[in-house]
């Protein structure tokens, strides 16, 4: 089973309040956009105008984007509120 197939087995109890929020004005000027390539769930996408699109709902809460992003304030990162977020399944 591939990593993508394992990730697809996870379920999510989505917090209605986004636990990760991007500052688009910072992302637009970012030259590397490391989040686009580093997120294992592929939740970031570079848009035609140079900004970054993002969907927090299938976040694995791994913290990779927070660790790798070098632009202060570009990401506001918190865990989902209690009991919400990813439910890992390795079956
Ligand atoms: Fe992607 Fe991990 Fe960041 Fe969630 S915490 S958006 S899965 S890199």
- Residues 29-80: tens digit of each pLDDT: 999 999 999 999 999 999 999 999 999 999 999 999 999 999 999 999 999 9
Distance from the CA of 19 to the center of ligand 1, in angstroms? 11
Say if CB 27 and CB 86 are below 8 A apart.
no
DSSP line for the chain:
--HHHHHHT-EEE--SS-SEEE-HHHHHT-SS-HHHHH-TT--EEE-TTS-EEE-GGG-----HHHHH--STTSEEE-PPSTT-EEE----
Q: Is the pLDDT of residue 81 over 90?
A: yes
Q: Is 63 in the pocket of ligand 1 (CB under 6 A)?
A: yes
Fold of domain 3-84:
Alpha-Beta Plaits (3.30.70)
Distance from the CA of 7 to the center of ligand 1, in angstroms? 12
Distance from the CA of 49 to the center of ligand 1, in angstroms? 22
Structure ipTM: 0.92
Q: Which residue has the higher pLDDT, 3 or 78?
A: 78
pTM of this prediction?
Answer: 0.91
Which pLDDT band holds residue 3 (cuts at 50, 70, 90)? confident
In the chain, domain spans: 3-84
Predicted confidence at residue 91, as pLDDT, reads 55
């Amino acid at each position: 089973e591939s990593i993508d197939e394992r990730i697809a087995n996870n379920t999510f109890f989505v917090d209605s309040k986004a636990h990760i929020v991007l500052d688009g004005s910072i992302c637009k000027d970012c030259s590397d956009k490391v989040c686009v390539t580093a997120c294992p769930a592929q939740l970031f996408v570079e848009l035609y105008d140079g900004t970054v699109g993002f969907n927090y709902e299938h976040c694995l809460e791994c913290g990779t984007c927070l660790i790798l992003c070098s632009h202060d304030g570009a990401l506001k990162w918190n865990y989902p509120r209690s009991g919400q977020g990813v439910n890992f399944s390795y079956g």
